Amino acid sequence: MTFTLCFVFMLACYPGLSKESEQSQDMVCSEVIANKSYSCEGLGLREVPDVIPPSTETLDFSFNSLLALYFWVFSRLTNLEYLDLTRCGINWIFNDAFGNKARLNTVILTGNPILYIADTAFLGATSLQHLHLQETSIVDVAFIPLSSLKGLVSLHLESNFISSIRFPQDITLDNLTLVNFALNQIHTISVKDSEYFKKILNLTLILKGNNIEYIEPNAFDHSVFHQLDLTGCGWNTNLSSLLNGLDGLTTNVLGVGTFNDITTDFDIFPWSLNGLCNISVKELSLQYRHISEGSQETFSCLTKIQKLDLTGTGLHFLQHLSQPSDIKELILDYNSFSSLCNINTGSFPLVTHLQIAGNRDTWDWGTKCLENLSNLKYLDLSHNDFRKAKCCGAQFSGLRNLSHLNLSYGSPLPLDSPAFPDNVQLGILDFSNVHLLMDESSSPFSNLADLRILNLSYSHVNSSHMQLLEGLTSVVFLNMEGNSFHNGILKSENLFSKVLQLETLILSNCDLEVLEKQAFQKLKNLKCVDLRHNKLTTFATNAFGNLTDVSLNFAFNMISTIPIVLVQNISDKSIINLSYNPIDCSCSNLEFLTWFKQHEKVFLDKSSTMCGSPPSLAGTELTKVAITCGISLTYVLLIVIITLICIILIIWLIQYYRRRIYAAI
């Protein structure tokens, strides 16, 4: 009897308990875009809360507990376009699990231990284009019901236990452009395995991270790919055994390099790349494959390639080739050249992009080592330690088309004046984290009238060098981060008066304490100023000429009180960041606090814009501060009461003395 009563009581209470549970779930799912995008990530939910409306297009339901997918789980959300079910513990996907989802474009099932997928599971998702099945323990492509995914564009199968790339022959996937088999258990590829891919043009097939030891000859004959990525394959075999299996392949991009953390006993010898002669390829990556000898024979089959990546191949020099190559982009990062002249630029007359970053040894500039590269537009020599020599007239002689030069993160560099006599076309110049040494009587950039972007961050330049920016009449972006100013003061007359077209100026971490009035008044085009991480105590808007459409970042300074006169001219089109400043939230700053609340949309990072004083409000967001200044109601009532008492007392005293006077008469 007792059990029956308890059971009836539980049934009676269940609707209330259920409602309370639903309400708690409703409160935790966050709304990203009203009625369109929601996130229920990591809430341990077993069903979609009722708060998620049917109009939802994007739903992040990752890291919940679903166990299985049935038709009814998402049946209410007929407008879904993007669904993330990462690591929801899904074991079974039953018939019509994605029914009535005609707009569903992307499904992410990463990290689910899937044991079963019904043949009709995706039948209702007629627009599905992107399917993610990474880390799902799949062992065979046939496990996936591809026959109902006719519109599929990309299929992601990384980090599973798949041993073959073979697709069923009776399916039609005309729109397929990407198949990713990275980090699986594929060891061999036969002609039959790759047969299906010959039906598809411009496919990207990613096989990186598989220990492929053998590719059957003609397996890729007459295959036309956009990209074939074999990076990190063939750990225990010579590269030639892979290339020989690619006979007849046509691809825009071929990756046969490896990873920096994978060691192999098989170097590239002169004959190792002969298989490339039977492959049509535009871009080739051999990164981190050690080349034992860079001879003419080694690169004899590479003359028709347009982009070559030789990152980390242990090169000490590049031999002069028997005939000039068609290479336009050459990447030689992380090698061991002893001189810039060791790359023999005469063999690469068409190169427009050259990267030689992070050379492992200290090396010489040489003289006119690059002058054969008359077409060179992009040059990256960052993260290098050159032996000290004046730069850069001799080094970049003849490079009249050079437009982008990166010399960042290098050794101290003495500059000629001018430093780039032959490079008047430069548009981007990066000296970040390079200690520049220069003659302060003139500008090393005086002839660079076309330069638009200049990075001098942490370059130890003297900010008092008034001629430093002389001649830079087109610069719109200037990064001076990490350079100091004398006594922490940016004066009204400063070096920025030479760059009148400037739109973006970065002065963060410059130990600035004071911005003098009108410091930026001449820069009429200035739209963005970054003054983070300085020691400014004043929100010095009077330093700027334009406050109608400007972004001012004063975060991480020491600003407390802001006179209202300094913000009254700021328009609603401007953007201000005052986060991580100790703003005074007392009555002495009331006018600014009122203005802040009236113009909240102007401010960025409002959650980190907090009070620094008084102690009772320290750490409180400005948006949540409500202070009352002036005489309070209690104080007024007290004054009235005291006044009335005083009046009554005075009247009583007057009457008292009058009675005494009359009594004396």
CA 343 to chain CA centroid, Å, is 33
Q: How far is the CA of 132 from the CAs of 109, 112, 424, in angstroms?
A: 6, 11, 49
Q: What is the pTM of this model?
A: 0.86
pLDDT band at 664 (very low <50, low <70, confident <90, very high): low
471, two tokens? 């001649």
3 state SS of 633: helix
Compute the C-alpha angle 538/539/545, nearest 5°: 125
Report how far residue 276's alpha carbon sits from residue 656's, in angstroms, rounded to the nearest whole number.
122
| Dihedral of alpha carbons 648, 651, 657, 662, sign | negative
- Please write the tens of the pLDDT for every residue from 334-352: 999 999 999 888 888 999 9
| Residue 569 confidence (pLDDT) | 86
360, two tokens? 């492992």
Q: Residue 117 carries which DSSP code?
A: E
Q: Whole-number mean pLDDT of the chain?
A: 90
| Residue 125 confidence (pLDDT) | 94
- Please write the tens of the pLDDT for every residue from 589-601: 999 999 999 999 9
- Please state the rounded mean pLDDT for residues 70-95: 96
Half-sphere exposure of 658 (CA within 13 A, CB side): 6
pLDDT at residue 121 is higher than 60: yes
How are beta strands 575-577 and 583-584 bridged, if at all?
unpaired
pLDDT at residue 7 is higher than 60: no
- Please state the rounded mean pLDDT for residues 628-655: 78
3 state SS of 597: helix
The total of other beta-carbon atoms located within 10 Å of residue 13's CB is: 10
Extract the runs of DSSP E, i.e. beta strands, from 154-229.
154-156, 178-180, 188-189, 203-206, 214-215, 224-229
CA 622 to chain CA centroid, Å, is 30
pLDDT band at 303 (very low <50, low <70, confident <90, very high): confident
- Please write the tens of the pLDDT for every residue from 568-597: 889 889 999 999 999 999 999 999 999 999
pLDDT band at 26 (very low <50, low <70, confident <90, very high): very low
- Please write the tens of the pLDDT for every residue from 207-232: 999 999 899 999 999 999 999 999 99
Report how far residue 429's alpha carbon sits from residue 449's, in angstroms, rounded to the nearest whole number.
12
Which of 52-66, 288-302, 312-326, 484-498 is modeled with the greatest confidence? 52-66
**By percentage, how much of the chain surpasses pLDDT 70?**
93
- CB proximity list for 502: less than 8 A, separation 6 or greater: 475, 476, 477, 478, 496, 523, 525, 526
pLDDT band at 663 (very low <50, low <70, confident <90, very high): confident
- Please write the tens of the pLDDT for every residue from 164-209: 999 999 999 999 999 999 999 999 999 999 999 999 999 999 999 9
pLDDT at residue 22 is higher than 60: no
pLDDT at residue 634 is higher than 90: no
Least confident of 138-147, 285-294, 424-433, 530-539: 285-294
Bridge partners of residue 490, in order along the sequence? 515
Is the separation of the CB atoms in 562 and 589 below 8 Å? yes
Report how far residue 395's alpha carbon sits from residue 406's, in angstroms, rounded to the nearest whole number.
14
pLDDT at residue 377 is higher than 90: yes
The total of other beta-carbon atoms located within 10 Å of residue 8's CB is: 10
